[in-house]
């Protein structure tokens, strides 16, 4: 079997949090193209159902939508139960849901700080932990977390201390889980995208006006597209990445090199 055949994900059962739109949706499309069955997990159930229906129609795989708030342990538990009920197993988890608040540190309320940390860091822990429990019992699996280049650098000019701290946390959480579970065949990696054109950036009143400035700073002179994160995630989800765990893949058009 050639390398491209080996990278296929036929029959694998995968959940994607924040899968209704943006990066999550784009990566879910790639997983479906590679033959996997998908659970699209999101707060926005109407949009998640639309995405799941599109995947089934366009790729001939099975896709379900599950409404879940990744900050709520009881929601995450119910999501896993539903996946096991429908699919019988879980091979890959893409823990990707996240938000960004751009607020100067000295003005940030406790609630604002907590909201970002709860979704971006605690949400990744809860979903990765729940997936890990299933995978450890099964004898293996692959977890991919979405961090950010903001886990490595301090973006400017927008103030986003809670976001930056949460994403640095995701990178170190990823490495910690990878080491804990390495001998039990559960791999844990993360991606650290640079600026990507999604709702989070293109439609954010605070971020949209900054795009021209970011592009000027960027070595490639532009933002990334969600599709430009697809192949790394397909690689991490599949069996050819069997020696890859505890790694953080910076996909940022060299933004963090300067
Ligand atoms: P989007 O805002 O387009 O999508 C995020 C999705 O996550 C939305 O569907 C949103 O649902 C969902 N979501 C938010 N909160 C929760 C929650 N508590 N439980 C379940 N789902 C939730 O963002 P992106 O696709 O751009 O971002 C995806 C990930 O990539 C995030 O972790 C982000 O931090 C990261 N990232 C993004 C970059 C970018 O430039 N776009 C760069 C680097 C990293 P709803 O609409 O209902 O809120």
Q: Are 150 and 99 in contact (CB under 8 A)?
A: no
> pLDDT below 70 — which residues of the chain?
none
Ligand 1 midpoint to CA 18 (Å): 5
Ligand 1 midpoint to CA 5 (Å): 31
CA distances from 134 to 14, 88, 214, 222, 254 (A): 12, 11, 41, 40, 36
Rounded-to-10 torsion of CA 72, 75, 76, 81: 160
Amino acid 116: pLDDT:
98
Q: Is 24 in the pocket of ligand 1 (CB under 6 A)?
A: yes
Amino acid 214: pLDDT:
98
Ligand 1 midpoint to CA 119 (Å): 9
Q: Is 69 in the pocket of ligand 1 (CB under 6 A)?
A: yes
- For the purposes of burial, counting CB atoms within 10 Å of the CB of 97, is it exposed (0-12), middle (13-18) or buried (19 or more)? buried
Amino acid 231: pLDDT:
98
Amino acid 166: pLDDT:
99
User: Across the chain, what does the average pLDDT equal?
Assistant: 98
6 is catalytic: no
85 vs 82: CA distance, rounded Å: 5
**Annotated catalytic residue, options 148, 150, 166, 192:** 148
The atom of ligand 1 lying closest to the CA of 195 is 40
Nearest residue (CA) to ligand 1, atom 46: 44
Identify the residue whose tokens are 């995450």: 76
Nearest residue (CA) to ligand 1, atom 10: 18
Ligand 1 midpoint to CA 198 (Å): 9
Domains and CATH numbers, the chain: 3-248 (3.40.50.720)
pLDDT in tens, 205-246: 989 999 999 999 999 999 999 999 999 999 999 999 999 999
Burial 33-69 (b: 16+ CB within 10 A, else e): bbebbbbbbbbeeebbbbbbebbbeebebbbbbbbbb
Nearest residue (CA) to ligand 1, atom 31: 98
145 vs 92: CA distance, rounded Å: 11
Amino acid 131: pLDDT:
99
163 is catalytic: yes
Ligand 1 midpoint to CA 200 (Å): 7
Burial 154-180 (b: 16+ CB within 10 A, else e): ebeebbbbbbbbbbbbbbebbbebbee
Gyration radius from the chain CA atoms:
17
Q: Is 155 in the pocket of ligand 1 (CB under 6 A)?
A: no
Amino acid 146: pLDDT:
99
């Amino acid at each position: 079997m050639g390398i491209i055949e080996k990278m296929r994900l036929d029959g694998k059962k995968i959940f994607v949090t924040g899968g209704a739109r943006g990066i999550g949706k784009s990566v879910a499309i790639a997983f479906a193209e590679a033959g996997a069955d998908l659970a699209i997990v999101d707060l926005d159930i109407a949009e998640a159902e639309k995405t799941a229906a599109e995947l089934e129609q366009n790729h001939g795989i099975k896709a379900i939508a599950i409404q879940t708030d990744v900050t709520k342990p009881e929601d995450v538990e119910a999501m896993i139960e539903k996946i096991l009920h429908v699919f019988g197993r879980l091979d890959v988890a893409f823990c990707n849901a996240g938000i960004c608040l751009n607020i100067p540190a000295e003005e940030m309320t406790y609630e604002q700080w907590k909201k970002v940390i709860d979704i971006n860091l605690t949400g990744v822990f809860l979903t990765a932990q729940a997936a890990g429990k299933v995978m450890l019992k099964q004898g293996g699996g692959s977890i991919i977390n979405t961090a950010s280049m903001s886990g490595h650098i301090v973006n400017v000019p927008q103030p986003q201390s809670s976001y930056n701290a949460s994403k640095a946390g995701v990178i170190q959480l990823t490495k910690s889980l990878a080491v804990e579970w390495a001998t039990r065949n559960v791999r844990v990696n993360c991606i650290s995208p640079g600026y990507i054109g999604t709702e989070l950036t293109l439609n954010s009143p605070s971020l949209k006006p900054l795009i021209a400035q970011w592009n000027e700073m960027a070595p490639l002179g532009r933002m990334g597209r969600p599709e430009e994160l697809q192949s790394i995630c397909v690689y991490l989800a599949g069996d050819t990445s069997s020696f890859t765990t505890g790694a953080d893949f910076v996909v940022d058009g060299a933004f963090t090199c300067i």
